[in-house]
Structure 1
Amino acid sequence: MALGPRELDQLLPYTLDRRARGPRREVQSIIELMGDAVLPRLREIRREGPGRLRGNALEILINLGGADVLDEVDRRVVERLVRIKLLDERPVGTPSEAGRWLAFPADRLDDAVAALGLHDLRPVTTVMGMAAATRAADALDFQGRPASQSEIQRAYRVFITPEFESWLADGPIKNWRMLWGNSFLDELDGFRLARELSERCGEAHFYVLDPYNSAENWYVARDGRRVRSYGSYDYPQFTGDPLPFEAWYMENADEDEAEEYSEGVPHASQAADNLSVEPGPQLAEHTHGHGWLATTHPAVPTTRFKGALPV
């Protein structure tokens, strides 16, 4: 039996149940399976109420079709909320236990956007951006126009962080940005992207923390070529000459650390801390500006991606 607006009215109140073992998630999943058929009724609830259901109707609308399915009033509401949150978004943080990200000099943002072919940059909070790039849908298949003559293409959504100050021992203070996007980095090869990024930005890095596979990688590219890299399962594990920060660890390792640092630094977070910026909590006074959501195709804006995001 097909489900539609009538069943939506019966089910939606159950999404207000916030008990740990309540039916909220199951009911919301059933509603989302109804698809486009319930979009008009959800928009109607947003406009006319009942008021207690408006918030959940908004969340389900975005889960079904992204911000593109919202009416103009709701789009402005979401944009205003983001602007308000950006005013006091301090401190911020990025995942420190697992993930993969690019790093590039913050003053080369325009070059990075051009090098990676990014479009539709929109200011977002870090919480929102990280969710969009690492937990929500971050890849979208679409058919170009005219549909009869175009193959299925894929667009990716990525998050570029605010600027983070880097206090490196062997140089002046320099600001860096990170770029996160699981599908983008996995499917388009983060190592290749780092080389291409470094051609325009002078330098770029790619880091991987993969505790599930007990693996770490760090990769430094300058002017379009790799200068140093480490990979847990690469052979050889190190490529290129040790960098200055590694020489310090190699020379100052104690007896217990001698073998660990015999060829260089094998830890991605440690390399990031010495080369750009280490992931994790960032000090408010060392954070500047805001983050950006972007996509990799001009025909697919960030609002097309499905899934409600925290703000």
Structure 2
Amino acid sequence: MRSLALKVLVDAGGAAALGIADRHAVERLLRIKLKDQHPVKLPSEAGRWLAFPADRLDTVVSTLGLHDLQAITSTAGIAAATEFTDALKVEDAQAETQTVYRVYITPEITSWRAALDPEDDNVSTPRFTTWRLLWGNSYLDERDGFTLADRVSERCGEAHFYLTDPYNSAENWYVSRNGHPVRGFSTHAFPQFSGDPLPFEIEYRQDAVDEEEAEEYAQGVPYALTAADNLSIEPGSVLPRDTRGHGWLATTHPDLSNLHFKGALPL
């Protein structure tokens, strides 16, 4: 009954509700899990995420004002940012209500296209070879993923925002470089495309096998996962050889740690 009771405590009050000994036990278990967490599985059916160059983690943490970075497995991190509580309302010193978010940043992931022959003019390769993805449904919705991508790219050189929403039949992908929009697609926008087509989009149009496919890609690529696959990292199963290190869980407020978010995360 003890394990069930501990789960109830965390579901009701977050890990902060645990005693010191139990909290240390969970931390030990997490350290064990982190040694063998591959392959990484990122949800591809629906979601929203930012992509940024992997070696700019510290810059992104500073730019977005993230705090309390905790090493975490991908299973727990994705659950924390997409399935469990990822936003809390708190009152500041002036008795004003603020929303604090929880986000997950993946390990470093190498783009499979980075291994392609750079001399092959018929193949687009990403500008950066390794990426990290930031997940957080509430954070990216309420803080606007497009704006966040611009902020991150201004400091990191490049950032992308992706969204797939089967419920609303919506897809979005957006590329920002040096703080400025470069290219984007949004299902429900008018016009749907913004900016000039990128090289990989031109390849899709040129390589069309029939008129129907040529028409499908006449203006560009309208699919977020396809764009992610060509520009950075496509969510799904990531091979162990393409993954390095571990992911991080973080919050957006210095005084509210990850311990206060409710839910017993799967490790």
TM over 0.5: yes
Give the alignment partner of residue 152 of structure 1, picking from 78, 81, 97.
Answer: 97
Q: 1:89 pairs with 37, 45, 63, which one? A: 37
Deviation at 1:167, TM superposition (A): 2.6
Shift of 1:130: 0.5
User: Could you tell me which amino acid in structure 2 is paired with residue 119 of structure 1?
Assistant: H
* 2:58 corresponding residue in structure 1: 110
Distance 1:204 1:197 in 2: 6
Unaligned runs of 5+ in 1: 1-52
TM-aligned CA deviation for residue 307 of structure 1: 0.9
C-alpha separation between the residues in 2 aligned to 1:120 and 1:202? 25
Larger radius of gyration: 1
Aligned mates of 2:209, 2:256 — CA distance in 1: 53
Match of 2:76 in 1: 128
TM-score, normalized by length of structure 2? 0.94
- Equivalent in 241, 249, 252 of residue 293 of structure 1: 249
Q: Residue 199 of structure 1 aligns with which residue?
A: 154
TM-score by length of 1: 0.81
For these two proteins, the number of residue pairs brought into alignment is 256
Percent sequence identity is 60
Give, in whole Å, the separation in 2 of the partners of 1:171 and 1:135.
Answer: 33
Residue number in structure 2 paired with 1:190: 145
Higher relative contact order (CA 8 A, sep 6+): 2
What does 1:12-31 correspond to in 2, within 5 Å?
A: none
1:228-272, CA deviations, whole angstroms, 9 ceiling, x for partnerless residues? 000111111110000111111111112220110001111100000
- Partner in structure 2 of residue 265 of structure 1: 221
> Residue 247 in 1 paired to residue 202 in 2?
yes
SS at match of 2:12: helix
The AA in structure 1 aligned to 2:225 is S
Question: What amino acid does structure 2 have at the position aligned with 1:191?
Answer: F
Matched, 1:214 2:169: yes
Q: CA deviation at 1:144?
A: 1.5
Supply the distance in 2 between the matched residues of 1:170 and 1:254 (Cα, whole angstroms).
Answer: 19
Of stretches 161-170 and 234-243 in structure 1, the one that deviates more from structure 2 is 161-170
Structure whose residues are more often helix by fraction: 1
SS in 2 for 1:257: helix
User: Which ranges of 4 or more aligned residues in structure 1 deviate by more than 6 Å?
Assistant: none
* Distance of 1:303 and 1:184 partners within structure 2: 18
